[in-house]
Structure 1
Amino acid sequence: MFTAVIVDDHPMVNGAIRTMLERTGEFKVLAECTNGQTALSVATELHPDLLVIDLDLPQLGGTEVISRLREGGKPMAILMISAGEEIVSGVRAFRAGADGFIHKSAPMEDVVAAAQLIVRGKIYFARSVMTAASGVVSNGSQGPLNDLGRREFEVFRCLALGMSNVDIARHMEISNKTVSAHKRNVMDKLGLANIRDVIEMARRYRIIE
């Protein structure tokens, strides 16, 4: 059974998501939070398999919570939800390091389906969101990133988020050997020497926040 923490500033939303997740028999919800600061503390302490978190939260925003968890090396699957404009919110979730994004107008069944996928190492973003997010690769203003293939770009993003080769392999459903090959290609194409260089370039081109 997978463990989960749910974060939304509306208790009714938390309750609805909890009910739907636990009804599957696959999830046990450990806690519900209504602000970002508490969410960060609870997720850090409990290490859930899944974090479902709203984008707009009091005290600490959802993207900031995600960024801090990723920087701390927390391997949990993260699903961001939002009532904001779908593509803008989805791209923000992608850049922050979420594994999936669901708009709040979607059926609750979609939230469950997304959760079931990302806890198994997959990603869940609408095609329109992925197109917008990956557009940085084809945008001429992104300089050297144009030289990266789709898989290489995803490895680049994951490295910038602090993910290990093992985590990237699980996330992308490829072998560790393939991850290592993509990593070498990324470093060579971009002329980078270490992970710190990767992070600096990712921030410069707004791939991560």
Structure 2
Amino acid sequence: MIGILLVDDHAVVRAGYRALLAKQADLQVVAEAADAAEAYRRYRQQPTDLVITDISLPGSSGLELVARLRQLQADARILVFSMHQNPLFAEQALRAGALGYVTKSSPPEELLRAVREVDAGRRVLSADIAQAMALEKLGDGNPALRSLTVREFEILRLLVAGNSVESIAASLHISPKTVCNCHYLIKRKLGVGSDIEMTRLAIQWQVLDLAELAGG
């Protein structure tokens, strides 16, 4: 039996996926969490065989959760299950330590296959993301954005979403000075001189959509 920690901030979404997983004789959701902090606490108290997490979570994102869980337990097996179809998110998730990335538009069978692959220690991507990543690499798209570290990518998203330096520092468990240093490095790597240019690029590259920017 594969014990799963399911992390998503929408209770209805968790209920739907819990029901799907419960139909499988070898899968069981043994714990749930609505945000990264709760997920980290639950995993620390009782590690599960596998973690399935969204990226968009209140406070720290799923990317930060992946990195923290891997620091806590080097062999933690994590599958990211996200609405984001931008290959940059998948690349950052894998860089953070996730073994798999599946989009929420994928068929249920693809999620179930990914769960078993990740539990076996194998890397897996949903078909749409695998194709998008291949095309991205062929075209060498967004090389500046791909040069960002996982932390820089996360801080970029939080900055352009309008979060203050202090709130970013608190959610990522780092100092405000570190956030400011990363802010400078991000602008230098992206070749921009202002936050307005940085935000424009983030929207253009679909790192943050207009609905997120408006708080939708």
* TM-score, normalising length: structure 2: 0.58
CA distance in 2, matches of 1:115, 1:49: 10
Of residues 120, 128, 131, the one that matches 2:131 is 128
- Shift of the alpha carbon at 1:50? 0.7
1:166-177 matches, cutoff 5 A? none
Q: Deviations over 1:9-35 (max 9, x none)?
A: 111211122112121111121111111
CA distance in 1, matches of 2:52, 2:99: 10
* Aligned equivalent of 2:98: 98
Residues 49 and 132 (structure 1), Cα distance of their counterparts in 2 relative to 1, 3 Å cut: farther
* Aligned equivalent of 2:2: 2
Q: Is the 1:55–1:80 Cα contact (8 Å) retained in structure 2?
A: yes
* Aligned equivalent of 2:21: 21
Structure 1 residues without counterparts, runs of 5 or longer: 143-204
Aligned length: 140
Letter in structure 1 aligned against 2:8:
D
* Aligned equivalent of 2:192: none
Letter in structure 2 aligned against 1:34:
A
CA distance in 2, matches of 1:26, 1:130: 31
Q: Is the 1:87–1:132 Cα contact (8 Å) retained in structure 2?
A: no
Q: Is the 1:47–1:74 Cα contact (8 Å) retained in structure 2?
A: no
- Shift of the alpha carbon at 1:75? 2.1
Report which stretch shifted further, 58-67 or 72-81: 72-81
Work out the percentage of aligned pairs sharing the same amino acid: 27
1:153-168 matches, cutoff 5 A? none
Report which stretch shifted further, 2-11 or 77-86: 77-86
CA distance in 2, matches of 1:123, 1:115: 10
Report which stretch shifted further, 20-29 or 33-42: 20-29
Give the 3-state SS of the residue equivalent to 1:5 in structure 2.
strand
Q: Deviations over 1:146-204 (max 9, x none)?
A: xxxxxxxxxxxxxxxxxxxxxxxxxxxxxxxxxxxxxxxxxxxxxxxxxxxxxxxxxxx
* Aligned equivalent of 1:117: 117
CA distance in 2, matches of 1:74, 1:7: 19
- Shift of the alpha carbon at 1:130? 5.0
CA distance in 2, matches of 1:86, 1:114: 18
Structure 2 residues without counterparts, runs of 5 or longer: 145-188, 190-216
| Match status 1:80 vs 2:80 | yes
Give the 3-state SS of the residue equivalent to 1:81 in structure 2.
strand
Q: Is the 1:55–1:63 Cα contact (8 Å) retained in structure 2?
A: yes
Q: Is the 1:2–1:28 Cα contact (8 Å) retained in structure 2?
A: yes
Residues 132 and 30 (structure 1), Cα distance of their counterparts in 2 relative to 1, 3 Å cut: farther
Letter in structure 1 aligned against 2:114:
A
* Aligned equivalent of 2:46: 46
C-alpha RMSD of matched pairs (Å)? 2.5
CA distance in 2, matches of 1:88, 1:45: 32
Letter in structure 2 aligned against 1:24:
Q
- Shift of the alpha carbon at 1:102? 0.7
- Shift of the alpha carbon at 1:93? 1.1
CA distance in 2, matches of 1:77, 1:43: 12
Letter in structure 1 aligned against 2:131:
S
